[in-house]
Amino acid sequence: MALTLQLADPEGNFLPESYAILDEELLEYLAGLSAFPTLRSFGELSSEEKPIEEAVREALAREAVEMAELVKRRAVPEPPGWVGLEGTGDIRLGEEFGWEGLLGFLRRLEHLVHLARTMGLELWALPDE
């Protein structure tokens, strides 16, 4: 399973360049982080597409900023070295992730929440099984 977080305008049209993908490996990693309950909850989302509530978006932004600071110091468990393998184990099908990839993901997540807040957009969770 993978999860895409994507911005949508007030009419429900998804903005093609405004998204973040959580591959299966990243979802598993986040599920093990007890200090970040909102990030951890991504793996528990149902298979239904739905907008993320404002309070949850704000909690995500806070946790993304807090976790990014810890990632810079490598004060969280080591992230997966590769994502996008989808159970194949073949790294040629995935992409390198590691510390830099995790930091980039957290920054992108915080930016998506910021755009949603300042531009009156919705952030949607789009599961992909």
Could you report the per-residue pLDDT of 3-59, keeping only the tens digit for each? 899 999 999 999 998 999 888 889 999 999 999 999 999 877 657 788 999 999 999
Edge to edge, the sheet with strand 50-51 lists 14-22, 2-8, 122-128, 50-51
What are the structure tokens assigned to 87, written together? 């159970």
Is the pTM higher than 0.85? The answer reads yes
What integer pLDDT is reported at residue 122 of this predicted model? 96
* Phi and psi, residue 24, nearest 5°: -55, -40
Q: Sketch the domain layout of the chain as residue ranges.
A: 2-46+53-126
- Give residue for tokens 């110091």: 73
Nearest CA to 106 out of 77, 63, 50 is that of: 63
Please tell me the distance from the alpha carbon of residue 118 to that of residue 129, in angstroms, as a whole number: 31
What integer pLDDT is reported at residue 89 of this predicted model? 52
Identify whether the C-beta of residue 121 lies closer than 8 Å to the C-beta of residue 14.
no
Q: Residue-wise over 6-38: b if at least 16 C-beta within 10 A, else e?
A: bbbeeeeeeeeebbbbbbbbbbebbeeeeebeb
Could you report the per-residue pLDDT of 51-104, keeping only the tens digit for each? 999 999 999 999 999 999 999 999 999 998 877 656 555 455 557 789 999 999
Q: Is the pLDDT of residue 106 over 80?
A: yes
